[in-house]
Structure 1
Amino acid sequence: MAAAATRADRWGHPVRTTSDACVSAIDAYYHQILSYGRDRKVILEAARRDPDCVLANALAAHFVFSKKPPAATSYLAAAASRLEDATSYEKAVYRAVSCLLSEDRDDDVVINVHRELLKEFPKDLISLKRAQVLCFYIGRPDLSINLVEQVLSHNQQEAYIYGMLAFPLLELGRMCDAEKYALKGFEINKDDFWSQHALCHVLQNDCRFKEAVEFMEACSSSWATCLSFMYTHNWWHVAVCYLEGHSPLEKVLEIYDCYIWKELERDDADCEEVYLNALGLLLRFAVRGQMDYTGDRLKTVVAVFRNELAEALLEYGKASHHKVFDILGPNFDAIDYKMIGASDEQLDVFNEVWYIVLLNTGHTYEAIEAIEKRVKQREGVPFLWHLLERAYSMEGRPDASFASTKAKALEVAYFK
C-alpha cells in the first residue's frame, strides 16, 4: 500500500491520502454540491479509493446520513480512527460534520463550529453550504448571511458565493440586494443554478411574473443535470408564476406533468422532493377552486404525506373546514413548518388554505387582517385581491368593489 501524502483539494486545502483519485472524487463532489448535481454519490468513490482518508469519510458520512444513518456512523468511525494523521483542515471538517450528525445536536454549537472552521479556511464553500442548509431549516437567514459575509472577501471571483448570499437576503426581505447579488453570480457563471433560483424568487416576489418565466425558461435547458430538488423546484417556480399571473391553467398543468411529476420516472429521482413541489403546486389549484382541472393528481400526492398538515389538507379536500380549523388551531402560521424543508414561497400556499378556512368558518375579521398583511407584501397577486374582495363583501364593506377591480386588472397584466 502506498504511503499517505499531503495533497490539495480544489481550494488548496491539505488532504492526507494515498490516492490522487480520492482527491479528484472529493473535488467532483464539491462541484456536485455547489451545482445541485445528480451525482453527489461520487463522494463514496472517494472513500472507496482511500478508506483511510479522513476528509473522504467525513464527507461520505454527511452524504449518506439522511437515508442510511448506520452507514454514516461507519464512515465517521473510519474517519475517527485516522484523525491522528489528519491535517488541521480535515480535523476541522470532521468536527463540524460530527457535531451536525450528533444524536443530541445543539444547533448553536453546530453553527459556531462551522463559523470557526470558516475563519481558518474561508474558501471552503462546502462547509459554508452545509451550515447554510442548517440555518435554512431552523429559520435563521440572519446567521446564514453572517457566515457568507465572513468569507466573501476571500471568494470574490467564485460564482457560487453570490447565490449563497442572495438567498438569505431575499429570505430577510432585502429584495434589491438579493437581486443584485443573484445577477452577479449569474453573470460570472450562467449555470449557477442557485443564483438563477434566487433571481427567480425576487422576480416572483415582486410580481414580475412574465419576466420571471422568460428568464427561467431561457435557463431551463441547463437543468438536466440538476438533482430532483433543484430540477422540479425551478419548474415549480415557473408554474407558480404562470398561475399567479393568471395564465391559462393548461399551461400550468403541462409543466406539472412534463417537468415535475415526470421526474419520478428517472431511476435516480428523489421522490420526497418531487412530492413536495407537486403538492405545493396542486394546492394552489385547490385554494383557487380549480380542482376540476387537476383530476386525481392532488389525491395521489397527499396520500404519500403523513403529518398534521397532510391531515388538514385531506379534510380541506372534503370541505370540512371546521375540522381543518380544529387541527391547525387559531394561531396557525405556515412559517412554523419551515422544518419540512420548504421555502417561504412553498409554504405560502398553506397560508392561502388558512385564509379560506378562516372565511368559511366565520373568522372573517382574522381573515381580513391576515390577507391585508400579505397583500402589502405582494400587492400584484390577483388571487389575494379576490380573497380580499370576498372577505370585505362578507363584512359588507364598500372597499370590496375596489378589491374586485384591482383583481380583474391584475388578471390581464402579465400573460395576455
Structure 2
Amino acid sequence: MEESSTMADRWGYEVATASKACISAIDGYYGEVLMYGRNRQLIFEAARNDPNCVLANVLAAHLASSKLPSATSSYLAAAASCLDRATRYEKAVFKAVSCLLSDERDNEHTVGVHREVLKEFPRDLISLKRAQVFCFYIGRPDLSLNLVDQVLGQNEKVGYIHGMRAFALLELGRMSDAEKSARKGLELNKNDPWSQHNLCHVLQNDCRFTEAVNFMKDCSSSWIDCSSFMYTHNWWHVAVCYLEGNSPLEKVLEIYDSYIWKELERNDADHEEVYVNALGLLLRITTRGLMEQINDRLKRLASKFTTKAHWHVEWLFDILALWALTATEHINKAEELLNSMKFKVSLLSEKKQNLLQKGILLGEAMFYYGKANYAMVFDLLGPNFDAIDYKMIGASDEQLDVFNEVWFITLLNTGHLHEGIEELEKRIQQREGASFLWKLLARAYDMEGQSDAGFASNRAKVLEAAYFP
C-alpha cells in the first residue's frame, strides 16, 4: 500500500486508506445495506483491498458476526491493530461496533455510543441503520425514532432517512405519521424497498388490503436484487394481505411457492431469512383452520429444523420453529430446541435473563400450541397476554400479531369466552376492517349464546365481499 493518506467515503468523512478499490467497496457496501441488497459481502472485498483499513475491517467484523462468525474476531483484531493511523471517524465507528459485538454489551450504553457517533458524524446512515436494527432487536422503537430525529435535519433530501423514520413511527403505533414518512421516502427514491415495505405495513394495518397488494405488486420488479430477507418479507406482506383480505387460499400459496420457498433455490439465498417468513405465513394460515391444506408444506419446512444448523439465529425464528416441530410431531427435536434456548439464556446476565424470560414463555406456549394443548398455552401466557409486549424477540408489530391470533383461538378453545369477547372487541376497535377478527367474534358470541353473533358474522361477510372484487 502507498504511504499513509486519507480518502473521503460516500458521506464525505475521511478514511485512512490510499486504496481507491477499498473506498469504492466501502461505498458499495453502504448502498447494499441501505437498499437491502444481496451483495453486502463487498465489505470483505474492501478489507482485502486494504488489510490495514480500520473502517473496512470493523464493518467486515460487524457483517461477519451474523454471516461468518468465525471470522469476526480476526477482522476486529485487524482493525484494532491499526487504530493509531485511523481517522477520528474510523475510531468512532470502531468504538460503536466493538461495543455492539461485545459479550458484555449493555443495551443502553450501546445505543448511547451510536448516538455519539451520529452527533459528530450525522450523515453516516450506516451507523444509524446499525443502531436502528439493534433497537429493533431489543424492542425499543422509541430510541430508534430518537436516533433518526437526531440526524434528520442533515439528511432531509436523502430518501432512506424517511424510510427509517417511517418504521420507527409505525412500531410506535403512529400510523398516520409513518405513512407520511414512507411516502416522503418514496418521493425521493421510489425503489427504496424499506420505504415500500413500511407503506405496505401501514396500509395492511389499516385494512386497506387491495391498495396494499396493488402497490406492492407494482413495486415488486425492484426487489429482484434484494436480500433474501427483504425479497421474501415484502412478498410475505403481499401474501398476508391476500389472506386477511379473504382471497382464495390458492393466491396465498402461490406467493409462498413462487416467491418465498422458491428463493431457497438461489445460490446466494440466506435460508434462515427465508424460513422466518415461511413459518410466519404458514402459522397465519393455520389460525384460519386451514392446517390440512398446508400440511405437506409445513412438514417439508419443519424438516429443515430437525438439525441444529439453523437454530438460534434469532428469537422469532426459534419460537416459530418450536410450533412447526411440534405441529409436525417432531416432539423430541422441539424439546431439544426449547431446552437449548433455556440454556443459552441461563448463560446471560441476570438483567438480560429477566428481559428474555418472555421469549422463553412464548416459546413454551407455541410448543404446546403445536400440540393443540390449549390449556397449557393459557396457563403459560395468563389472562392478560398481548403480543405487543414481546418486541424483545425481534419482531415487528405485524409479525407479532399472529401470536395474538393464537391467543384469541386459545381463549375460545379453553372456554374463556368472556375474556375472548372482550379482547376481540377491543382489537376490532383498532382494526375494524379485519374480517377474521369479526369471524372469531361471531364464533365467541355464538358459543356464549349471544344474539350479536349474527351481526358479527354478517359484518365479516360484508368486509370479505369488499376485498379484491
Match for residue 324 of structure 1 among 367, 374, 377 = 377
- Give the secondary structure class of the aligned counterpart of 2:466: coil
Greater mean alpha carbon deviation, residues 390-399 or residues 169-178? 390-399
Q: Distance in 1 between matches of 2:297 and 2:387?
A: 23
Q: Distance in 2 between matches of 1:327 and 1:275?
A: 26
Contact 2:118 2:151 in 1 (8 A): yes
Alignment length (residue pairs): 416
1:403 aligns with 2:443: no
Q: Distance in 1 between matches of 2:66 and 2:156?
A: 32
- Give the secondary structure class of the aligned counterpart of 2:16: strand
- Give the secondary structure class of the aligned counterpart of 1:17: coil
Aligned to 1:366: 419
Deviation at 1:317, TM superposition (A): 4.2
The letter for the 1-side match of 2:432 is E
Q: Distance in 1 between matches of 2:161 and 2:392?
A: 24
Greater mean alpha carbon deviation, residues 400-409 or residues 310-319? 310-319
Q: Distance in 1 between matches of 2:204 and 2:165?
A: 18
Structure 2: give runs of 5+ residues left out of the alignment.
Answer: 306-320, 322-336, 339-359
Give per-residue Cα distances to partners, 1:138-194, cap 9 Å, x unaligned.
111111111111111111111101100111111111111111111111111111111
The letter for the 2-side match of 1:270 is D
1:377 aligns with 2:430: yes
Greater mean alpha carbon deviation, residues 71-80 or residues 394-403? 394-403
1:242-253 mapped onto 2 (5 Å cutoff): 242-253=242-253
Q: Distance in 2 between matches of 1:359 and 1:302?
A: 27
Aligned to 1:174: 174
- Give the secondary structure class of the aligned counterpart of 1:186: helix
Deviation at 1:353, TM superposition (A): 1.1
Q: Distance in 2 between matches of 1:409 and 1:155?
A: 45
Q: Distance in 1 between matches of 2:364 and 2:152?
A: 44
- Normalising by structure 1, we get a TM-score of 0.96
Change (3 A) 1:298 1:311: farther
Q: Distance in 1 between matches of 2:150 and 2:285?
A: 42
Q: Distance in 2 between matches of 1:321 and 1:145?
A: 38
- Give the secondary structure class of the aligned counterpart of 2:144: helix
1:32-111 mapped onto 2 (5 Å cutoff): 32-111=32-111
Give per-residue Cα distances to partners, 1:364-395, cap 9 Å, x unaligned.
22222222222111110100001111112222
Q: Distance in 2 between matches of 1:27 and 1:67?
A: 20
Deviation at 1:316, TM superposition (A): 3.1
Aligned to 2:330: none
- Give the secondary structure class of the aligned counterpart of 1:347: helix
Contact 2:139 2:393 in 1 (8 A): no
The letter for the 2-side match of 1:415 is F
Deviation at 1:402, TM superposition (A): 1.9
- Give the secondary structure class of the aligned counterpart of 1:39: coil
Change (3 A) 1:283 1:238: same
Greater mean alpha carbon deviation, residues 64-73 or residues 131-140? 64-73
Contact 1:212 1:238 in 2 (8 A): yes
Deviation at 1:311, TM superposition (A): 5.7
- Give the secondary structure class of the aligned counterpart of 2:98: helix
- Give the secondary structure class of the aligned counterpart of 2:2: coil
Aligned to 1:131: 131
The letter for the 2-side match of 1:201 is H
Contact 2:138 2:393 in 1 (8 A): no
Q: Distance in 2 between matches of 1:78 and 1:196?
A: 38
Contact 1:302 1:310 in 2 (8 A): no
Aligned to 2:395: 342
Give per-residue Cα distances to partners, 1:395-414, cap 9 Å, x unaligned.
22222222112111111111
Aligned to 1:152: 152
Deviation at 1:93, TM superposition (A): 0.1
1:235 aligns with 2:239: no
The letter for the 1-side match of 2:141 is P
Give per-residue Cα distances to partners, 1:12-51, cap 9 Å, x unaligned.
0100013110000000000000000000011000001111
Contact 1:283 1:298 in 2 (8 A): no
Change (3 A) 1:263 1:337: farther
Deviation at 1:320, TM superposition (A): 2.7
Deviation at 1:312, TM superposition (A): 4.3
Aligned to 2:465: 412
- Give the secondary structure class of the aligned counterpart of 1:294: helix
- Give the secondary structure class of the aligned counterpart of 1:397: coil
Deviation at 1:275, TM superposition (A): 1.1
Deviation at 1:336, TM superposition (A): 4.4
Deviation at 1:77, TM superposition (A): 1.0
Give per-residue Cα distances to partners, 1:328-352, cap 9 Å, x unaligned.
4555433344344321111111210
- Give the secondary structure class of the aligned counterpart of 1:5: coil
Greater mean alpha carbon deviation, residues 296-305 or residues 69-78? 296-305
Q: Distance in 1 between matches of 2:245 and 2:140?
A: 30
Deviation at 1:327, TM superposition (A): 4.8
Deviation at 1:205, TM superposition (A): 0.6
Aligned to 1:209: 209
Contact 2:383 2:419 in 1 (8 A): no
Deviation at 1:4, TM superposition (A): 2.2
Contact 2:111 2:131 in 1 (8 A): yes
Aligned to 1:258: 258
Contact 1:13 1:89 in 2 (8 A): yes
Deviation at 1:69, TM superposition (A): 3.2
Contact 1:2 1:18 in 2 (8 A): yes
- Normalising by structure 2, we get a TM-score of 0.86
The letter for the 2-side match of 1:4 is S
Identity between Structure 1 and Structure 2 (%): 70
Deviation at 1:268, TM superposition (A): 1.5
- Give the secondary structure class of the aligned counterpart of 2:375: helix
Greater mean alpha carbon deviation, residues 320-329 or residues 57-66? 320-329
